[in-house]
């Protein structure tokens, strides 16, 4: 895993992490699932970036691939990993051998494990509760990447076992009806929505929403000070 070098992407992610950290300070929340309002909105990429940034900040973080239905070859991180979440839930691997240490000091990873066409019984088991309880003791933050909430019931099941759900949508593409449907699914189940990430937004539109986001990048304070000195001289 590698730290993103794009200033604008990092600036946006830092804002999200700040909100998550403040929430943890307020109510202790540290365990989140990320789920798209629709497929293909970049949920996995967002989960990876959040986990990397948290670990880079010095927080012991674990990223979990909770998409148990997808074929392994179509996943970003699971290639050549021997075991994962399904193996633990089936009792074939112990907790102490479950997490892989990544190339980043404070970042660990649990892959999905062997594909399950119908993982409902596994996700509903007491083993999941035991796992989440133990992870909460061992890690500062837990980020779980889940499939789209409008295409699978899995995220809604896992939401009841976590501190909150962060929904992901794609700028100018995700249908508003999918966002409302995602909200309604979670609300009906009594699950907490911690927020929604607007993904894949271009720099110009981001600047319209977040004023002065590039203040330090463009060193505008230098120009401001130069103008002030000029006005004093005059």
Report how far residue 49's alpha carbon sits from residue 169's, in angstroms, rounded to the nearest whole number.
Answer: 16
Would the pTM count as exceeding 0.85? yes
- Domain positions in the chain are 7-201
pLDDT tens column, 91-149: 999 999 999 999 999 999 999 998 787 899 999 999 999 999 999 999 999 999 999 99
The domain covering 7-201 belongs, at the CATH homologous superfamily level, to P-loop containing nucleotide triphosphate hydrolases (3.40.50.300)
* Total length of the chain: 234
**pLDDT of 62-96, one tens digit each?**
999 999 988 766 566 766 677 899 999 999 999 99
The pLDDT score that the predictor gives to residue 5 is 83
Tokens of 158: 């896992």
pLDDT averaged over the chain? 90
pLDDT tier at 211, thresholds 50, 70, 90: confident
């Amino acid at each position: 895993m590698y730290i993103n070098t794009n200033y604008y992407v990092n600036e946006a992610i830092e804002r999200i992490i700040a909100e998550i950290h403040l929430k943890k300070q307020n109510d202790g929340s540290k365990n989140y699932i990320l789920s798209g309002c629709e497929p293909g909105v970049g949920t996995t990429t967002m989960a990876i970036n959040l986990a990397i940034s948290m670990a880079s900040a010095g927080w012991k973080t674990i990223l979990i691939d909770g998409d148990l239905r997808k074929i392994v070859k179509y996943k970003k991180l699971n290639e050549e990993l021997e075991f994962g979440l399904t193996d633990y839930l089936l009792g074939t691997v112990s907790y102490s051998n479950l997490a892989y240490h990544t190339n980043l000091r404070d970042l660990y990873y649990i892959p999905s494990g062997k594909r399950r066409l119908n993982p409902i019984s596994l996700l509903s088991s007491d083993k999941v509760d035991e796992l989440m309880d133990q992870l909460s003791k061992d890690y500062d933050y837990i980020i779980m990447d889940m499939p789209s909430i409008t295409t699978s019931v899995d995220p809604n099941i896992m939401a009841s076992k976590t501190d909150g759900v962060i929904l992901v949508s794609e700028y100018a593409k995700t249908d508003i009806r999918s966002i409302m449907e995602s909200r309604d699914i979670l609300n009906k189940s009594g699950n907490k929505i911690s927020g929604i990430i607007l993904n894949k937004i271009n720099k110009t539109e981001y600047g319209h929403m977040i004023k002065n986001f590039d203040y330090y990048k463009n060193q505008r304070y230098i120009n401001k000070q130069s103008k002030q000195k000029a006005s004093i001289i005059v």
